[in-house]
Amino acid sequence: MDRQWWKESVVYQIYPRSFMDSDGDGIGDLPGMTSKLDYLKTLGVDVIWLSPVYDSPNDDNGYDIRDYRAILPEFGTMADWETFLREAHARGIKLIMDLVVNHSSDEHAWFVESSASKISAKRDYYIWKPGKDGAEPNNWVSVFGGSAWKHDERTDEYFLHLFSRKQPDLNWNNPVLRKEVYDMMTWWLDKGIDGFRMDVINYISKDEAYPDAPSHSESRFQWGGQYFADGPRIHEFLQEMNREVLSKYDCMTVGEMPGVQPEEAALYTAPERGEVNMVFQFEHMDLDSGNGKWDVRPWHLKALKEVTYKWQHSLNGRGWNSLYMNNHDQPRMVSRFGDDGEYRVLSAKMLATFLHMQQGTPYIYQGEEIGMTNVRFPSIADYRDIETLNYYREAMEGGADEAAVLRSIHAKGRDNARTPFQWDDSPNGGFTTGAPWLAINPNYGTVNAAEAVADPDSIFHYYRKLIELRKKHDIIVYGDFDMLDWDHPEVLAYTRSLDGRKLLIALNFYGGEPEWNPPADAVGSEAELLIGNYREPGTRSKLSSGIRLKPYEALVYLL
């Protein structure tokens, strides 16, 4: 058992724009975040992951960085950031920063210089190519739609941008650029931070031949992931970064890695290889997608079981998992995998149990702990996210039906996660005294933190207990995972085992009342109910077969 503090931690993600506004400009800020640290302390989280607060023109809400060493004035000053860090540390909470170095903003001084001329000293900090037959160098599509290449008039070349055209990709093949990134990371670590969440870090090494992607549809532009996800030099770059920077600090790292498979993730996270501690994989987030994320399909419990088992099993003893079902890019978990109506509270607790009892480091995204839900704004004018707006424009230009497009946005749009945090039932949910940058979810009168903190039965207190349990029982952190009841249509059940002890977790994923049978070797054993969303924990009983589960019931027994 390789003990590490970051394995025993629970991480809380703050999306700064939407967390807490202290000055009435409608945008969350650092003093606002500092004022809510006691709330996070009560919840019991160990680490905060802060989405970008760096200087940025905000084409992609801060994931387009203009200056890696400056704070965006909307969020406050560097002194405000230092106060936030100091106050978090004073409460025993660590801080990890978002590291966005697959790309920068096109307004970053590096890009300004790089694009000025073909002989600029920083030309090679970005990826420039001449056109092919008067068009783009290849057919790759950008994640946010359209070609991944933008023509630049001044030098008559194209630059690569896997995301928006204001997010040019950095050229990691250039050792001088890599050194700049490592110096910047060192600068933040020396300021006292505790690690990094690394944005799309498995995209930083591209196939230098830049081949056309195979066509999967009629579109001119096609997904080229096979030429840049887990690319040719990725492990070399991450090992170098680890050697030059991370290994010198007691810090934690999590790499966001779209499309990554477990065998590759085991390489990224094997401690002896010195790359990152854990990755964010996306397989469970793709279960309700058909041809791309906007093509919304029903998800299936069996598939969730398969994906969960695959990741739990593959990394056990080899690397480490991150556990999440929410972040600033994903719709709200309770709306997507639970029931945000009648069973909102029960299903949110059930899903929390599902995540927090697996092997790995759990991540809570702001608002998840009070069961915040998706939002259905009536018009595209209510939305702010670049990905959503681009999708709408392209779909409408292609002749799509607006109602269907809005249905996809309601189910999958990133603004579902980005509506302001609901602190209380006062106007704008106590988030701001001004006009919020994105409208608040109208359900803030009933779904809010003040109500949740006051109610001992709330989702908030359930999360608090899950976190507490983790501190008490090594088996929750380190135990081996096994899936039970593969064919049960409504129940997902699993065990965790360590040193002869067993945890038995049973989760009813639907609103019915199915019968569930504990594994034969557990029937008749003394079991303590550690936590559940109906029954009183702490009770001991002999496990019997034929347990009738209530709607969205969650049970965790220690045998």
Q: Given the complex with ligand NOJ, which of 63 and 444 has the nearer CB atom?
A: 63
Backbone torsions φ then ψ of 176, nearest 5 degrees: -70, -40
Of residues 289 through 308, those in contact with ligand NOJ by CB under 6 A are none
Q: Given the complex with ligand NOJ, which of 254 and 492 has the nearer CB atom?
A: 254
Q: Given the complex with ligand NOJ, which of 56 and 448 has the nearer CB atom?
A: 56
Residue 420 is given by DSSP the state P
Cα diameter, the chain = 77
Active site residue 250: no
Instruction: Tell me how long the chain is.
Output: 559
Active site residue 401: no
Contact partners, residue 412, CB within 8 Å, separation at least 6: 289, 293, 294, 296, 331
Q: Given the complex with ligand NOJ, which of 62 and 76 has the nearer CB atom?
A: 62
In the bound complex, what is the minimum distance in angstroms from residue 98's beta carbon to ligand NOJ?
A: 8
Q: Site mask, ligand NOJ, residues 255-294, x = CB under 6 A? A: -x--------------------------------------
In the bound complex, what is the minimum distance in angstroms from residue 241's beta carbon to ligand NOJ?
A: 18
Residue ranges with strand state E in 90-132: 94-99, 128-129
Residue ranges with strand state E in 182-325: 195-198, 252-256, 278-280, 289-290, 292-296, 322-323
72 interacts with ligand NOJ by CB under 6 A: no
In the bound complex, what is the minimum distance in angstroms from residue 279's beta carbon to ligand NOJ?
A: 13
Three-state DSSP class for residue 311: helix
In the bound complex, what is the minimum distance in angstroms from residue 163's beta carbon to ligand NOJ?
A: 4
512 half-sphere exposure, CB direction, 13 A CA radius: 7
Q: Are strands 501-508 and 491-498 parallel, antiparallel or unpaired?
A: antiparallel
Crossing angle of the two packed helices 234-244 and 175-190, in degrees rounded to 10: 40
| Contact (Cβ atoms closer than 8 angstroms) between residue 280 and residue 324 | yes
Q: Which two tokens stand for residue 510?
A: 């639907």
Q: Using the rule CB under 6 A, which residue among 199, 230, 340, 369 binds ligand NOJ?
A: 199
Q: Site mask, ligand NOJ, residues 360-399, x = CB under 6 A? A: ----------------------------------------
415 interacts with ligand NOJ by CB under 6 A: no
Three-state DSSP class for residue 471: helix
Rg (CA), the chain: 24
In the bound complex, what is the minimum distance in angstroms from residue 150's beta carbon to ligand NOJ?
A: 16
Q: Given the complex with ligand NOJ, which of 17 and 305 has the nearer CB atom?
A: 17
Residue 432 vs residues 24, 415, 440: alpha-carbon distances, Å: 5, 18, 10
Backbone torsions φ then ψ of 142, nearest 5 degrees: -80, 150
Q: Site mask, ligand NOJ, residues 323-362, x = CB under 6 A? A: -----xx---------------------------------
In the bound complex, what is the minimum distance in angstroms from residue 170's beta carbon to ligand NOJ?
A: 12
Q: Using the rule CB under 6 A, which residue among 63, 149, 354, 557 binds ligand NOJ?
A: 63
510 interacts with ligand NOJ by CB under 6 A: no
**Sign, Cα dihedral of 226, 232, 233, 235:** positive
DSSP H or E stretch at residue 527: strand 526-532
60 interacts with ligand NOJ by CB under 6 A: yes
200 interacts with ligand NOJ by CB under 6 A: yes
Q: Using the rule CB under 6 A, which residue among 84, 128, 159, 163 binds ligand NOJ?
A: 163
Helical spans, DSSP H, in 148-300: 175-190, 234-244, 262-269
| Among 59, 64, 240, 256, the one annotated catalytic | 256
Q: Given the complex with ligand NOJ, which of 420 and 430 has the nearer CB atom?
A: 420
100 interacts with ligand NOJ by CB under 6 A: yes
| Among 21, 98, 106, 199, the one annotated catalytic | 199
- Please identify the residue of the shown chain whose CB is closest to the bound ligand NOJ: 63
Q: Given the complex with ligand NOJ, which of 327 and 408 has the nearer CB atom?
A: 327
**Sign, Cα dihedral of 113, 114, 117, 123:** positive
Residue 390 vs residues 33, 102, 145, 197: alpha-carbon distances, Å: 30, 21, 7, 26
Residue 5 is given by DSSP the state T
Q: Given the complex with ligand NOJ, which of 22 and 205 has the nearer CB atom?
A: 205
Q: Given the complex with ligand NOJ, which of 384 and 470 has the nearer CB atom?
A: 384
Q: Given the complex with ligand NOJ, which of 160 and 469 has the nearer CB atom?
A: 160
Three-state DSSP class for residue 332: coil
How many of the other CB atoms lie within 10 Å of CB of 444?
Answer: 24
| Contact (Cβ atoms closer than 8 angstroms) between residue 159 and residue 147 | no
Determine the Cα–Cα distance for residues 332 and 338; give it in Å rounded to an integer: 10
Write the DSSP assignment of 14-59 as a string of letters: E-GGGT--SSSSSS--HHHHHHTHHHHHHHT-SEEEEPP-EE---T
In the bound complex, what is the minimum distance in angstroms from residue 310's beta carbon to ligand NOJ?
A: 23
In the bound complex, what is the minimum distance in angstroms from residue 375's beta carbon to ligand NOJ?
A: 18
In the bound complex, what is the minimum distance in angstroms from residue 200's beta carbon to ligand NOJ?
A: 5
Of residues 24 through 53, those in contact with ligand NOJ by CB under 6 A are none
| Contact (Cβ atoms closer than 8 angstroms) between residue 31 and residue 21 | no
Which amino acid, 44? G
In the bound complex, what is the minimum distance in angstroms from residue 556's beta carbon to ligand NOJ?
A: 31
Active site residues: 199, 256
The residues that touch ligand NOJ, with contacts defined as CB under 6 A, are 60, 63, 100, 163, 199-200, 256, 328-329
